[in-house]
Structure 1
Amino acid sequence: MTDYQRNILYPASLSPKRILIKGATILSMDVNIGNIPKGDILIEGGKIVSVGAEISADQAQIIEADNMIAIPGMVDTHRHSWEGQLRRINPNAESLEDYCNATHFSFAKYYRPRDIYVGNMLTALGCMDAGITTVIDNSHNSRSAAHSDAAVEAMLDAGIRAVHAAGAPVSGTWDTAHWPGNLERLQNKYFKDGNNSLITLAMMAQLEPAQWAEARRLGIPIVTEFFGGKMADELEGLHREGLLRKDNIFNHCTCLPDKGWKILREAGVRVNVCPRSDAHYGIEDGMFAWQAAAQHGIRPGLSVDNETSYSGDMFMEMRVAFYLQRVVGQLRRSDQSRQSVETISASRLLEAATIDGAACAGLQDRIGSLVPGKQADVVLINTEDINLYPSNNAFGTVVHAAERSNIDTVIICGRIVKQRGALIGVNAKELRAAIDESRTHLFSAAGYKPDQFSENFSALN
């Protein structure tokens, strides 16, 4: 254990072998189990054993869930976790260049391994607090083997489920010798023989077949920042050579023409869309790619992307997606020459945030729905809270009204990580001290003078 890992978390307590959630309104996200107005969930050995009414179990820890809604743990399919301590540093960013200036071209090159650890830890804990039990960590600041180790160990220590997509930095100097060979080192150190069921490994790389070959050799997924208007022309050649496969995960996919979407579907490429990020940073046309994906039979996951301008919760991501799609539909209805747009229902958005996100992460057989045999990633939302009561529609309550403060309980692989509205095992004082030390170092190293009231990140002072 390194010095920066000490004291942030209290020693982990033993999880109960058997948990029985009683009396919840269950949104299972499974067509066979369906929705249960008042039901129970039995968890044993980290897995869901039974879902239904009036389940009994000896020697189980009982969670009374009357007036709670049970959903699968949500999945964020694209997050740059290392940026945790840069939250909301650039609230009015208008372009991808603005984002890069506030991350890659300023602070990123001054990150020490301990800063990577702190950023990832803060992001992971924030996810868990907000009911996001799985995150695809797009780690594009792996400057050395020690940086990569710190990123993985933060996720392991936090106890979140994650796909760690290790990638090369965008700017500054870094240890080029460890990339992409670092992936095999990581695999041997942390992921060999499936010895860790919560964290899996991936590569983060652009459309670079030479690097993809290493990921394919190791049998790990490949995550790519993909902007369809600029990169679509490269798809046909990649597809012709058999380089696009089901182990590719594409972020954004904005402005991709029909021909490109057909290639992605034929190749089985996994896709996630970014409602807030694409609009906030004006990525290509600024519109998330849900409609185009749906028209081509692709069910995308939802992703937050980063927290440098806005919040890190999936509730807001679902709401922004709902309203952006409504606006596009209204505009197209006023122009009868254009193809109509289907509205997105609340239940469909929750599917995107759970079971479809799990599929994007390649984990649909483990998580994403409340089904016996799957690992127990469960979130309980308290509908007795004043902002949610009375709950007249379960999907409407979750998607249109709930927030992180309404989450009573979060369970990951049968381990309770949040209960009665508070994260378990976090030393808040030490966590804040580690964040403050890291942020102070980064600001000082970069020559940045913080301003609590400036809404735009400017060039470093």
Structure 2
Amino acid sequence: MPDQHRQILAPLPAASSRILVRGATVISMDSEVGNLPQGDILIVDGAVAAVGLHLEAEGAEVIDAANMIAIPGMVDTHRHSWEGQLRRINSNAASLEDYCNATHFSFAKYYRPRDIYVGNMITALSCIDAGITTVIDNSHNSRTAAHSDAAVEALLDTGIRAVHAAGAPVSGTWDTAHWQGNLARLQDKYFKNHPDGLVTLAMMAQLEPDQWAVARELGIPIVTEFFGGGMAAELDDLHRKNLLGPDNIFNHCTCLPDAGWKILREAGVRVNVCPRSDAHYGIEDGMYAWQAALHHGIRPGLSVDNETSYSGDMFMEMRVAFYLQRVIGASRRLGGHHHAEAPTNAFRLLEAATIDGAACAGLGHRIGSLTPGKQADVVLIRADDLNLYPVNNAIGTVVHAAERSNIDTVIIGGRIRKRGGVVLGVDREKLRSVIDESCTHLFNAAGYQPDPFAESFAPIHLA
């Protein structure tokens, strides 16, 4: 990546050896730790050392968290980060075809490595800003080795925790020769000497066992866009050949019949669901598969998928998931289904956005809860802001009322990345400049004339 495009962000500061978060309302997401109306969190060398009352730590950097709610960092288990500069370009999309026309079949083929860097960078920064401390980066537009490097370097430079799932482009031409050894090259270059670093490696591929074998030789997870109604028939053969396992991460899983869910459970496949994406693009029946997964003993993570049509925060994902689940249950009961699922609650959705998302990412042993020994990924939400105060229910406030602007502090692996409501180390003038340059290049290359007031389902009119 050219140095001038990596100078938008200041070098990440070293993590304080000790941080004491004092006086927060703590939602730990750990039943043994519990929740505290007013408690402290001690962070030592990047990990949670203790959660309790009146903690002391000589020489620690103290964060006064009175009137704040502390939660674990949220986890987005499926995001096409490279599309960051295409935000809301296709707000009224109504199908996967609309989405693909606005990404893969138009702008994607004109991405330079610097555009991949910019897309991943602004996605990662906005995740941090919104309290998402971990993202599974589904990178299906790395056309050359330089594109792949740019994607990884953007994640490293922002300081987000990420699983970078490198995948081949969907359309256009690309350097197919580099794919033969691209994953091994990335592992050697960025990850071999940092197996416990913030960014780790995965493969993005469809139901392609030959490709999966490469990932398995490297010991990395495999991410797949899986639509159950159209792809379920392939599961039985894969399962009989022992080609499905806990290293598989399936996105969407819409319309999957019971037999397919049984296979995923038996094989230990990890699942994430997309409340907004599935509804927005009418994927199969348009209903996210969270309740179906739970019914079959699988606890899925939640994912944003992309920002080309809507926002990139987990607060909205939890709310849409909450209400869709309740609407479907009420509709079933009204239709005489007396055993329809009971209405869900806010805590269950917060689990999906934190501890369950961590498990889906394969990081449940490291993040997802404020448990002593885990990495210190912590989000502090200002509870005395006008839209939140008074906080009569902390969990309800987080899930139903909080938003990005209420997030005061974000800590990732013991390093403070947002403080006082501002993401640290970002030159905003330079950031806007490189984003504008990238958009201008992509729009001109594709012959696209932007219309800020477009109302059509697919406002992409390419020359």
TM-score above 0.5: yes
Q: 1:446, 1:389 → 2: CA distance?
A: 47
User: 1:80, 1:137 within 8 Å by CA — same for their partners in 2?
Assistant: yes
Taking the TM superposition and a 5 Å limit, the aligned residue runs for 1:38-49 are 38-49=38-49
Taking the TM superposition and a 5 Å limit, the aligned residue runs for 1:99-138 are 99-138=99-138
TM-score scaled to structure 1, two decimals? 0.99
Structure 1 position 323 matched with structure 2 position 314: no
- 1:330 partner amino acid: A
Taking the TM superposition and a 5 Å limit, the aligned residue runs for 1:355-394 are 355-394=355-394
Structure 1 position 459 matched with structure 2 position 461: yes
Per-residue CA distance 1:114-138 (angstroms, 9 max, x = gap): 0000000000000000000000000
Q: 1:210, 1:303 → 2: CA distance?
A: 27
Taking the TM superposition and a 5 Å limit, the aligned residue runs for 1:175-214 are 175-194=175-194, 197-214=197-214
User: Secondary structure of the equivalent of 1:237?
Assistant: helix
The Cα of 1:6 is off from its aligned counterpart by: 3.7
Taking the TM superposition and a 5 Å limit, the aligned residue runs for 1:248-267 are 248-267=248-267
Identity level (%): 75
Q: Equivalent residue for 2:270?
A: 270
Relative to structure 1, the CA distance from residue 22 to residue 352 in structure 2 (aligned partners, 3 Å threshold; closer, same or farther) is same
Q: 1:15, 1:228 → 2: CA distance?
A: 43
Q: 2:334, 2:195 → 1: CA distance?
A: 56
The Cα of 1:291 is off from its aligned counterpart by: 1.1
Structure 1: give runs of 5+ residues left out of the alignment.
none
Q: 1:117, 1:4 → 2: CA distance?
A: 12
The Cα of 1:453 is off from its aligned counterpart by: 0.6
User: Secondary structure of the equivalent of 1:375?
Assistant: coil
Q: Equivalent residue for 1:230?
A: 230
Q: 1:296, 1:6 → 2: CA distance?
A: 45
Q: Equivalent residue for 1:302?
A: 302
User: Secondary structure of the equivalent of 2:192?
Assistant: helix
Per-residue CA distance 1:318-341 (angstroms, 9 max, x = gap): 000000011101100111147502
User: 1:180, 1:211 within 8 Å by CA — same for their partners in 2?
Assistant: no
The Cα of 1:181 is off from its aligned counterpart by: 1.9
The Cα of 1:250 is off from its aligned counterpart by: 0.1
Structure 2: give runs of 5+ residues left out of the alignment.
none
User: 1:180, 1:214 within 8 Å by CA — same for their partners in 2?
Assistant: no
Q: Equivalent residue for 2:65?
A: 65
User: Secondary structure of the equivalent of 1:21?
Assistant: strand
- 1:156 partner amino acid: L
Taking the TM superposition and a 5 Å limit, the aligned residue runs for 1:294-443 are 294-337=294-337, 339-443=339-443
The Cα of 1:192 is off from its aligned counterpart by: 0.4
Q: 2:434, 2:276 → 1: CA distance?
A: 29
Aligned residue-pair number: 461
Q: 1:180, 1:260 → 2: CA distance?
A: 31
The Cα of 1:383 is off from its aligned counterpart by: 0.6
- 1:45 partner amino acid: D
Q: 2:421, 2:246 → 1: CA distance?
A: 38
Q: 1:18, 1:230 → 2: CA distance?
A: 51
Per-residue CA distance 1:29-88 (angstroms, 9 max, x = gap): 001011111100000110111100100010011101111100000000000000000000
Q: 1:239, 1:10 → 2: CA distance?
A: 47
Q: 1:338, 1:446 → 2: CA distance?
A: 53
Q: Equivalent residue for 1:95?
A: 95
Q: Equivalent residue for 2:32?
A: 32
Relative to structure 1, the CA distance from residue 294 to residue 6 in structure 2 (aligned partners, 3 Å threshold; closer, same or farther) is closer
Per-residue CA distance 1:163-190 (angstroms, 9 max, x = gap): 0000000000000111242000000101
User: Secondary structure of the equivalent of 1:305?
Assistant: coil
The Cα of 1:455 is off from its aligned counterpart by: 2.8
Q: Equivalent residue for 1:280?
A: 280
TM-score scaled to structure 2, two decimals? 0.98
User: Secondary structure of the equivalent of 1:194?
Assistant: coil
User: Secondary structure of the equivalent of 2:298?
Assistant: coil
User: 2:162, 2:199 within 8 Å by CA — same for their partners in 1?
Assistant: yes
